[in-house]
Chain A
Amino acid sequence: MNPNFTDSLIKWTLAVFLVVVFAFLYMPIVHILFASLSTRPNFPYPPEFNVASYIRLSTNTVYQSAFLNSLLLASCTAVLSTVLGFLATVGVLRFAGKRALIYAIFFAAPLFVAEILLGISSMALYYMLFELQGNMLTAIIANAVHCFSFCFLIMAAMLYKYDWRMNEAAIVCGASPLRSFFEVMLPITWPGIMGSLITAFVLSLNGLDVSFYLLGATPTMPSVAWGALRYGVKPELYALSSLINIVVFAMIIALLVAIRLKRKAA
């Protein structure tokens, strides 16, 4: 067979496959977007545009406090795990020497421990040691453990290509170490740091397992959604899910555009 023909056959077969996969991934999301906007949520075709379920969602006080709790939890977790992940990345790439691999494996280990185990074991620890029922702080910490590995890997991928002597170049130009970080390192590596913040934020915003065991009665978005789910899916849940998807989508687009703009400027 003509190799060019075989090549394009492979290419187009793969392309069709990709389209099917995207459809599989996005159909449910689009479907519930329609469902959330429809008066007939079970089979919302033809689509309507009815925001009743969004209004009910926004006036529901349980969802409101859950939203605030989740926001607090996710922001703190994102910052905490990114800072720790940054230290870990710098440590492994610069200072670990021969032990770099060992440290890297240790820092990536939480990735290979199920989230539910993290939740359960943290609960066990706090309960055994302090008779604590779990609170926001412990939930943030346990979430940060889970997100830490993601942050570490994301930033390591970015900083791996960074030439550390760039900092030295700034320092011999008269910049203090702190200034060299803000003026040189941060502007060059911010996509990795931003990516780490976003990933940790989104993961902890949506994670149920850890919060479920460590937050007790404090409602968060996933736990309220889960609670509601047990009594049948309601259109409000569709609205909530769609909202989160839209926000995540917007955040990613914003990051992409920002990178584009920066690159265009360069």
Chain B
Amino acid sequence: MQDANLQRRLILDIPTGFLLLFFVMPLAALVTLSFWQTENYKIVHEWTLMNYGTLATERAYITFFLRSLVMAIGVSVTLVALSWPIAYFIVRYGGRYRIIFSLLLVIPFLSGEVLRLIALQGMLGPAGLVNGALIRMGAAPLRMIMYSNAASFIAFIYLYLPLVVTTIYLSLINFDFRLAHAASACGANRFRIFTEVVWPLNLSGTIVGFMLAFIPTLSASLVPRFLGGPNGTLYGMSMAQQFGESGTWALGAAMGVVLFLFSAIALAILSYGVDLRRTGFTGLGRQ
């Protein structure tokens, strides 16, 4: 009796403790740090709201944040729109090649952001494949895709497409398509089947996919630094700079807290707007 209970407790307590120590504690430290100050690369333990004041008043930060927000929303919406047909095709028509298709989508994701950006740079850069080919054909190089927000946008799509497709794929593959047939038998046409049955029942998976693209885009530092050009500074990049070159840790921490709060609010809004039961969510128990 006793040891069985102990075993149960340990099995849940070990991962919980791990997350509390190394996930929650650091975030708490970040919050604390955001209320302190940095002077000459030294942390001054004095409570202040100055960092948040700077963020709320300085034009540059507001611009960065809004730019990031627009970018993140645009990227995530585009990704969801792109991913749905792909995932739908694989699940409906993939047959026994489903696994191959889905793995082929995942593989590029696995080689990591830096290396994938290098590959993308080979495509988009001034000397990259696209412009190289254009020049060779005697056309003018496309300026739009070099060091601009458009280049960043393409890069985000390239980076996170596999992640979003996989999430929606996983949602669809657990979806019982006989429900769609049932709806069809009830007289619904293709469009109605989609809007009344397929979409709502896969909404929670779609939201997860949306968030998984939204959050890293909102906080991206590599892409804008590397592809964004002079007008492409995004919030995450600026935050990274506070911890790097400028050495203003406390301000960076405040930026981090804002970022975290904002992601949490976005997640909350999205999941609050959705009645889980109407998305077919049945909890975690086996039925």
Contact = CB atoms under 8 A, between A and B. Distances in A.
The answer to whether A and B touch in the complex, with CB atoms under 8 Å apart, is yes
Interface residues of B, number: 88
Contact of A42 (B28, B89, B99, B127): B127
Contacts of A182: none
Contact of B218 (A114, A127, A142, A256): A114
B272 interface: no
Interface string B70-104: 00000000000010011011101100000111011
A120 B267 contact: no
B8 A241 contact: no
A118 B26 contact: yes
Contacts of A125: 25-26, 28-30
Nearest to B123: A28
A95 interface: yes
B161 A121 contact: no
A141 to B, nearest CB: 5
A187 to B, nearest CB: 20
Q: SS class of chain B's interface: helix, strand, loop or mixed?
A: helix
Nearest to B221: A116
Interface string B108-123: 1011111111111111
A248 interface: yes
A9 to B, nearest CB: 11
B50 interface: no
Contacts of B221: 116, 209
A101 B158 contact: no
Contacts of A47: none
B89 A25 contact: no
Nearest to A36: B122
Of A112, A152, A225, most B-chain CB atoms within 10 Å: A112
B11 A91 contact: yes
A241 B117 CA distance: 10
27 contacts: A14-B85, A17-B86, A29-B119, A31-B129, A32-B119, A35-B122, A43-B136, A91-B12, A112-B263, A114-B260, A115-B216, A116-B221, A120-B256, A121-B253, A121-B256, A142-B22, A145-B23, A206-B110, A206-B112, A207-B113, A208-B113, A213-B243, A229-B114, A229-B226, A233-B121, A249-B107, A252-B110
Interface of A: 6, 11, 14-15, 17-18, 21-22, 24-29, 31-32, 35, 42-43, 84-85, 87-88, 90-96, 100-101, 103-104, 106-107, 109-118, 120-125, 127-129, 141-142, 144-145, 148, 152, 157, 160, 199, 202-203, 205-209, 213, 222, 225-226, 229, 233, 237-238, 240-241, 244-245, 248-249, 252, 256
Given A17-B86, A87-B14, A124-B26, 11 more contacts: A14-B88, A25-B161, A43-B133, A109-B23, A117-B30, A121-B256, A125-B26, A129-B29, A145-B18, A206-B110, A237-B115
